[in-house]
A and B are shown apart, each in its own frame.
Chain A
Amino acid sequence: DVKVTQSSRYLVKRTGEKVFLECVQDMDHENMFWYRQDPGLGLRLIYFSYDVKMKEKGDIPEGYSVSREKKERFSLILESASTNQTSMYLCASRDTGFRNQPQHFGDGTRLSIL
């Protein structure tokens, strides 16, 4: 089974702080993704990475950056946290052996910015 692990289940930070969310997958997947989930808005893609050191903006990249130095790890960075970044953050990974592969998700990090 694919295992996608997010470092924290719950996190509380203050406005203006730099926040790091970490995600690790154990299946040697090339693709990794960061989403946020908000009530009534579904899952929205922030950034994704299709290989090491490669990154692409998703639908809502403003206020975020990412880092992928190793294949198994994909980090989401909130450069200067704001209250509107309070959300559930979900990491996912996917194999690219065949285009139609599902994404596998971690259990999420519920981030509160005070």
Chain B
Amino acid sequence: DQQVKQNSPSLSVQEGRISILNCDYTNSMFDYFLWYKKYPAEGPTFLISISSIKDKNEDGRFTVFLNKSAKHLSLHIVPSQPGDSAVYFCAASAAYSGAGSYQLTFGKGTKLSVIP
């Protein structure tokens, strides 16, 4: 059962416009959420995170919103740039005790294409 879902495999956006990437989760134990960006032939790079005690976190052009009641988070990129074209992974961590607390559960990714 997929606990972290990114239902859009791909997204195309014009340069300068807003990109919105969505992520849904099913496990109510998740309390920390991250977004990673991945270029081809490179490893994922950490982008931004949010704890469940917040509903918004901003870092420059990137903002993550968390709606706990809907078990939904989204990543907003404003303005979008061609260099933002990459695969974006949503990930979640649960407040388990012991070794389980170290794990991240990843979504399948959304490929963002920013068109010049």
| B42 A102 Cβ-Cβ under 8 A | no
User: Taking A43-B89, A100-B32 as contacts, is the C-beta distance between A105 and B102 under 8 angstroms?
Assistant: no
| A48 B108 Cβ-Cβ under 8 A | no
Q: Residues of A contacting B32 with CB < 8 Å?
A: 99-100
For the complex, is B106 an interface residue (Cβ under 8 Å from A)? yes
The 8 Å CB contact of A45, one of B49, B89, B103, is B103
Q: Which residues of B30-54 are within 8 A (CB) of A?
A: 32, 34, 36, 41-46, 49, 51
| B103 A48 Cβ-Cβ under 8 A | yes
The 8 Å CB contact of B41, one of A103, A104, A108, is A108
Interface size on A, residues (CB 8 A): 28
B interface majority secondary structure? mixed
Which residue of chain A has its CB nearest to the CB of B4? A42
| A42 B43 Cβ-Cβ under 8 A | no
Which residue of chain B has its CB nearest to the CB of A6? B43
For the complex, is A40 an interface residue (Cβ under 8 Å from B)? yes
Alpha-carbon distance A42/B9, docked complex (angstroms): 11
Q: Choose among A40, A42, A50, A94 the residue with the greatest number of B CB atoms under 10 Å from its CB.
A: A42
Q: Chain B, interface size: which category?
A: 20 to 34
| A107 B108 Cβ-Cβ under 8 A | no
| A42 B108 Cβ-Cβ under 8 A | yes
Which residue of chain A has its CB nearest to the CB of B39? A107
Q: Which residues of A15-64 are within 8 A (CB) of B?
A: 31, 35, 40-45, 48, 50, 56, 58
Alpha-carbon distance A48/B102, docked complex (angstroms): 9
- Chain A 75-109: CB-based contact to B (< 8 A → 1; otherwise 0): 00000000000000010101010011011111110
Q: Using CB atoms and an 8 Å cutoff, list the residues of chain B in contact with chain A.
A: 6, 9, 32, 34, 36, 41-46, 49, 51, 89, 91, 93, 99, 101-104, 106-109
